[in-house]
Each structure stands twice: as C-alpha cells, then as structure tokens.
Amino acid sequence: MRFHWHTHHLTLTNPWGIARGVSKEKEGWVFEIEHAGVIGHGEAAHTKRNGESLESVKLDFERVAAAAAGKDDPRALLDALPFIGINGASAAAIDVALHDWLAQQAGVALHDFLGIKASPLPITSFSIGIDDAETIARKVEEAAEYPILKVKLGTDRDREIIGAVRSVTNKPLRVDANEGWATRKEALEQVKWLAGEGIELVEQPLPAHRIADVAWLRERSPLPIVADEDAMTSANLRELAVAYDGINIKLAKCGGLREAVRMLDLADELGLRVMLGCMIESSLGITAAAHLGARAEWLDLDGNLLVSDDSYVGLRCDRGVLTLPNAPGLGVTLVSPGRD
Ligand code: MG
C-alpha cells in the first residue's frame, strides 16, 4: 500500500457567511491509497470549529501512514483506523479512500458495496449564507433551479434575512442557526416565528451540549429540531434522541462511511430522522456522502455547488436531483491536479 496526499484549493462563488464567521476560500486535503494497481480517493474537509487545521490533518495522515507501514491490507487498515485516534475530517478522507479502493477492487459501485440503493435520493437543499439583504435576494434568485433552500441564520438580523429570501421566493426553506441563538427562550421565539414563514425544520438552534434546553424547546416547537454540531458520532445519539427530532450526519464530523452507517442504523433504532450534510468540499467528498443518500430523509449535499473551482467530477446535480456515477467505487475523477 502506498499513500499520497496533496492540498487542493476551493473558491467560494459567494463569500460563505454562517453564524460563526465568513470565508471566501478553503484549502483542503485529498488522500490517496494505491495498491495492486488501484487508487482510492478521499477528501478531508477540516473545520476550525472541530479543532482541525491543514496542519493537524497532515499530522493525522502521517500517523496513519506510520501505523500502516509495511502492511498491505486495505481492509485491515479500515478496521484499525478508529483505534489510531485521529480527527473526523482526516479519518473520513482515509476511510473513504479505503472504501473507494475496496469497492473498485470488488468491481461494484460504493453504494452497492455498502448494501445501499443508488436511488431514489431525496432532493438536496442549496444553502444561502448570511449576507446583507440585497445580496441574499440576488443569491436566492441565482439559486432559482434548486427547489429547496437552506438558509443560514443565528444572527441579530434573522428577520431581515428571511424577509429578503421571502421577497423573491415561496419555495420550501430549511433553517440552520449554527448554534447562534443564545437562550432557549430566544430559540423558541425564533422557531415560533419561523413556523409561519414556510420553514420545514430548524438545525442546531442552541450551542452544542445544551441537551436539556433543546428538550425544553422541542416540547414547545412547532417545527422539527435537528442536531448538527451536537451530533458528531454515534456515541451520544441515545442522549440526543430525547431532545432532537433528527440528526445531520456528515462524513467529516464522524470520521467516514463506516461510522456514518453506524449512525444511520442507530438513528433508525432510536426513531431519529436523518439529514446527510457536508462541509465546503469538492465533488470527491460530496459523492462519497451521496452514496449513502438513499438512507436519508433530507439531503444537504451542496458543498461542491457553492465553489467555482470544483476539482473533481462525480455525482451529477440537476435541479437538486442527485444522480450517482455508474462506475466501480466512488466513481470520481480528477479535473485539475490542484496545488501541492
Ligand atoms: Mg449545520
């Protein structure tokens, strides 16, 4: 087994504003596993919020390469990966690359390898980041082809933002507060107001680890409440099930496909509704998540649609309808070599 990794650069088409801050570009890592003439690919979409950086991902890759030195068994490395103790985004890149390799070696598409159907997939939402009212209205008009929007809130201008969106469209909206409301009382006021604005669900209304407050909110909320920053892995889903209606599963949070499937199974058992989400990432990472898409109720797989220099070709998106590639493994190919 040989490992390679390189950085790639993603430019946001519009500056990306969420409750935590604004970004215009993102540098990420691609991880490759080469063995027996087959190359598997995975993407690490690290986030500062989760204590990750370009440097920490690189160190994680080096740790895994050291742990796997002299071994030539991708499946054994996949089994060992959780015990090497690396961060979610790094683990996701390696887990996805290993799954891509194993499925290509087996000659089947990744979703088949995982025992998941290719279709039907829920329609993905398209995200509208925080901005001034005029820019938001323009972005909503530019997103005319997408039937469902996810609007970022959690600011002191939430009513202005929804007003700007509603000035140009009546389509269904989902709201993501990204931990931006401070108290359960404030969150309840916002949720009650949003229920009258044609909103389908509210994601992460309060800062993570405020489970009792979310349970209080959910008892009074007319809208489903979905955990994102609170739902990192399968470890605390039983606790979340008493407070939340659903969870947002992301490969970069949980560490890859194996843990994501564990979360899907446990969510089914606990009656938690499931969204599959993403970070700002290329079609490499988005395609990996989409292979799980048939098991989700909601998809928010739009990271690749928000950048102007997607470095991979994989899944297709036509008016929010995702189609998986028809090829062994992930089914992704590199468009441009990226930057080393
Ligand atoms: Mg979110």
pLDDT of residue 336: 63
CA–centroid distance, residue 116 to ligand 1 (Å)? 24
Does this model's pTM top 0.85? My answer is: yes
Class of domain 2-108: alpha beta
How would residue 57 be classed by pLDDT, with cut points 50, 70 and 90? very high
pLDDT of residue 328: 98
What is the torsion angle, in degrees rounded to the nearest 10, for the CA atoms of residue 75, residue 77, residue 80 and residue 85? -140
pLDDT of residue 325: 97
CA–centroid distance, residue 110 to ligand 1 (Å)? 25
CA–centroid distance, residue 98 to ligand 1 (Å)? 27
- The 8 Å CB, 24+ separation contacts for 311-315 are 311/8, 311/10, 311/30, 311/282, 311/283, 311/284, 311/335, 311/336, 311/338, 312/41, 312/282, 312/283, 312/284, 312/287, 313/283, 314/283, 314/284, 314/286, 314/287, 314/290, 315/283, 315/286, 315/287, 315/290
How would residue 339 be classed by pLDDT, with cut points 50, 70 and 90? very low
CA–centroid distance, residue 229 to ligand 1 (Å)? 7
Instruction: Judge whether 2-108 and 126-334 match in fold.
Output: no
CA–centroid distance, residue 42 to ligand 1 (Å)? 22
CA–centroid distance, residue 204 to ligand 1 (Å)? 7
CA–centroid distance, residue 152 to ligand 1 (Å)? 8
Q: What is the pLDDT of residues 278-315, one digit of tens each?
A: 999 999 999 999 999 999 999 999 999 999 999 999 99
CA–centroid distance, residue 333 to ligand 1 (Å)? 28
Residue 318 has which token pair? 């036509």
Q: What is the pLDDT of residues 226-253, one digit of tens each?
A: 999 999 999 999 999 999 999 999 999 9
Instruction: Report every protein residue that has its C-beta within 5 angstroms of ion ligand 1.
Output: 176, 203, 228
CA–centroid distance, residue 244 to ligand 1 (Å)? 14
CA–centroid distance, residue 6 to ligand 1 (Å)? 27
Task: Give the rounded distance of the alpha carbon of 302 from its chain centre.
Answer: 8
Boundaries of every domain in the chain:
2-108, 126-334
Q: What is the pLDDT of residues 152-189, one digit of tens each?
A: 999 999 999 999 999 999 999 999 999 999 999 999 99
Q: Characterize the bridge pairing of strands 225-227 and 312-313.
A: unpaired
Class of domain 126-334: alpha beta
CA–centroid distance, residue 106 to ligand 1 (Å)? 34
CA–centroid distance, residue 109 to ligand 1 (Å)? 28
CA–centroid distance, residue 308 to ligand 1 (Å)? 21
Q: What is the pLDDT of residues 105-119, one digit of tens each?
A: 999 999 999 999 999
CA–centroid distance, residue 19 to ligand 1 (Å)? 10
